[in-house]
C-alpha cells in the first residue's frame, strides 16, 4: 500500500518521542529530587560535598534550590504523563522545547558571561536539541499525512 511507509515513519517518530519523554521525565525527577534533598542534610555528606563544594548555602539559596527541585519534579511528571497519553500534544512538545531552549541559553550566557562553561552549555543543550529534532520530524510527518501539528 502506498501510505504504509508514511504511517510507519510516523509511528517510529512517535515511539522515539515517547522514549525521549520517558528518559527526560526520569532524569528531571531524579535531578529535581536531588535538588530538593540537597540542602536538607538528608543525603550522605559525600554526595553533597561534590555539589556544594563543602559549603553550606544560605537559607535563601537553599530554599531557591528546593523550589527549583520541585519545578524539575513537576516537569518530569509532566513528561511521563504525556509519554503515556494516547495522542501526543504538539502544544506540550513545543512549550517544553521552548523551556529547554531557555535552559540551554542560560548555560551558554550566564553570570560568568558568554560561554561560561563549554561542558555545561553542551550538556544542557542536548535535551533542547533532541526535542527540537523530534518536533521538526513530527511536524513533517503530520504534514505528509495531511494532519495538523
Give me the pLDDT at residue 59, please. 82
Q: Look up residue 145 and give its three cell numbers.
A: 499525512
Give me the pLDDT at residue 1, please. 44
Longest Cα pair distance anywhere in the chain, in angstroms?
65
Helices (H) then strands (E): counts for the chain: 5, 2
The domain segmentation of the chain, as residue ranges, is 4-143
How far CA 26 is from CA of 30, 33, 61, 81, 140, in Å, comes to 6, 11, 25, 11, 28
pTM attached to this predicted model:
0.81
Q: pLDDT tens, 39-49?
A: 776 666 656 55
DSSP state of 110: E
Per-residue model confidence as pLDDT tens for the chain (149 residues) = 455 666 788 899 999 999 999 999 999 999 999 889 887 766 666 565 555 555 677 788 888 889 999 999 999 999 999 999 989 999 999 999 999 999 999 888 877 677 767 888 899 999 999 999 999 999 998 887 766 55
Give me the pLDDT at residue 121, please. 85
Q: pLDDT tens, 64-93?
A: 889 999 999 999 999 999 999 989 999 999
Amino acid at each position: 500500500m502506498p501510505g504504509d511507509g508514511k504511517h510507519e515513519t510516523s509511528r517510529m517518530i512517535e515511539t522515539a518521542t515517547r522514549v525521549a519523554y520517558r528518559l527526560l521525565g526520569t532524569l528531571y525527577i531524579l535531578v529535581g529530587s536531588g535538588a530538593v534533598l540537597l540542602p536538607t542534610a538528608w543525603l550522605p555528606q559525600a554526595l553533597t560535598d561534590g555539589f556544594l563544594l563543602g559549603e553550606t548555602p544560605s537559607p535563601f539559596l537553599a530554599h531557591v534550590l528546593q523550589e527549583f527541585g520541585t519545578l524539575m519534579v513537576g516537569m518530569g511528571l509532566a513528561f511521563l504523563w504525556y509519554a503515556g497519553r494516547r495522542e501526543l500534544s504538539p502544544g506540550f512538545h513545543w512549550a517544553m522545547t521552548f523551556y529547554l531552549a531557555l535552559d540551554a541559553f542560560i548555560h551558554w550566557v550566564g553570570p560568568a558571561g558568554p560561554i561560561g562553561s563549554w561542558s555545561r552549555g553542551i550538556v544542557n543543550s542536548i535535551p533542547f536539541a533532541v526535542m527540537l529534532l523530534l518536533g521538526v520530524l513530527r511536524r513533517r510527518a503530520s504534514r505528509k499525512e495531511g494532519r495538523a501539528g
